[in-house]
């Protein structure tokens, strides 16, 4: 059976979480995870691009699992998230990654069993399933996105 490497991403305004998960049939293995921190300055898109490009080139994923956009009250936040998603989608096109998108509710349901779970519940389940304490919630969310993809393959 062929091992598939998926890059799970949780786009964020200040930190974009990422996780690399190897999927081999009914087994999974977390390879690497972390965050790309970026301030509000215009250079943040380049930093996200550069960091994720390095990760893609080093770990060579073939699939990208991405948390889909959600509706919010602040249009400025949605615009910034859209810009970050654009960078991620551009990288996926350049490196020919298959893209899979999951709603926040689907991701939460996959990791906790409840689609409206809180962030602390996601963090706790990531810790239990992967025996890791992520530095930031964004990293935990990216691991959850990758895990959601594993369950939906």
CATH superfamily, with its number, for domain 4-152: Ribonuclease H-like superfamily/Ribonuclease H (3.30.420.10)
Is 121 catalytic? The answer is no
Distance linking the first and last C-alpha atoms of the chain? 14
Is 10 catalytic? The answer is yes
**Nearest C-alpha neighbor of 80 from the set 9, 138, 16:** 16
Whether 63 has a pLDDT exceeding 90, the answer reads yes
Query: Does 69 or 118 have the greater pLDDT score?
Result: 118
Catalytic residue among 22, 43, 57, 67: 67
Catalytic residue among 10, 63, 139, 141: 10
pLDDT digits (tens, 9 = 90+) for 40-54: 666 889 999 999 999
Q: Which residues of 42-78 are buried (b: 16+ CB within 10 A; e: fewer)?
A: eebbebbbebbeebbeeeebebbbbbeeeeeeeeeee
Query: Does 78 or 141 have the greater pLDDT score?
Result: 141
Is 50 catalytic? The answer is no
Query: Mean pLDDT over residues 60-82, rounded?
Result: 85
Which residues does 122 contact at the CB level (< 8 Å), separation at least 6?
107, 108, 111, 112, 137, 140, 141, 144
pLDDT digits (tens, 9 = 90+) for 2-46: 999 999 999 988 899 999 999 999 999 999 999 999 876 668 899
Catalytic residue among 58, 101, 138, 141: 138
């Amino acid at each position: 059976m062929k091992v598939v490497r998926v890059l799970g991403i949780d786009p964020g305004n200040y930190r974009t979480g990422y996780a690399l998960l190897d999927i081999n049939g009914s087994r999974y293995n977390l390879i690497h995870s972390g965050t790309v921190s970026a301030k509000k300055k215009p250079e943040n898109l380049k930093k996200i691009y550069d960091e994720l490009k390095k990760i893609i080139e080093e770990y060579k994923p073939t699939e990208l699992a991405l948390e889909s956009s959600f509706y919010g009250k602040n249009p400025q936040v949605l615009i910034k998230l859209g810009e970050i998603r654009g960078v991620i989608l551009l990288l996926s096109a350049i490196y020919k990654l298959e893209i899979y998108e999951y709603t926040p509710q689907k991701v939460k349901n996959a990791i906790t069993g409840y689609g409206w779970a809180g962030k602390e519940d996601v963090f706790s389940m990531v810790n239990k399933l992967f025996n890791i304490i992520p530095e930031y919630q964004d990293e935990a969310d990216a691991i959850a996105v990758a895990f959601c993809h594993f369950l939906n393959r």
